[in-house]
Amino acid sequence: MATQTRYYRYGSTTYRIEQDENREERGYLLNLETGVFQRNDDLIDEVTGATTTSYITRTHFDNFVRYSEGVRQRLRGEGPAFALYDTIQAIHDKLQAEGRIQFEPAEAALVQAIHKRTFPLWEEDERRRAEGLPPKNIATGWR
């Protein structure tokens, strides 16, 4: 049996719960300052027991990626993900300069495509950290 993962929006960040083949659960909260998922098992009961709270919402993987990358794109930093976030920032700057509040369909599609590229870059960094290697993406602050 493979690891099963559930995805959540938790306030202004995201949270995932992984359950291994022994049914042991591990929770990971996206750190708003580093862009890194950090182990936090203390929230598992709160998250899984949430019923009508507006700050905890179970979601599917695509929304989890969108929410997680929405947080990360507001960070400044070094690495390949941040070069792609600069493209998103340029789209936001154009939107603001034109006095618009919504992306055009092509802009929204481009942002979504970038998120699908940046999320795996962070997952690769998680694997690198687990192997004792340095990450390629390092947050240095907020935009």
Model confidence over 83-140: pLDDT tens digits?
A: 999 999 999 999 999 999 999 999 999 999 999 999 999 999 999 999 999 999 999 9
Run of H or E residues at 131 = none
Shared-domain flag, residues 27 and 48: yes
Structural domain containing residue 14: 1-60
How far is C-alpha 63 from the geometric centre of its chain's CA atoms?
A: 9
Distance CA 33, CA 75 (A): 7
Flag whether 45 is in a domain: yes
Q: Where are the alpha helices (DSSP H) in 35-133?
A: 44-49, 61-72, 80-97, 105-130
Q: Which residues contact 24 (CB under 8 A, 6 or more apart)?
A: none
Domain tally for the chain?
Answer: 2
Question: Which of the two residues, 39 and 53, has the higher pLDDT score?
Answer: 39
Average pLDDT over residues 34-43: 97
Task: Report the SS3 class of residue 31.
Answer: coil
Shared-domain flag, residues 78 and 130: yes
pLDDT at 2: 63
Shared-domain flag, residues 100 and 143: yes
pLDDT at 3: 78
Q: Does 1 score more than 60 pLDDT?
A: no
Flag whether 67 is in a domain: no
Q: Does 64 score more than 90 pLDDT?
A: yes
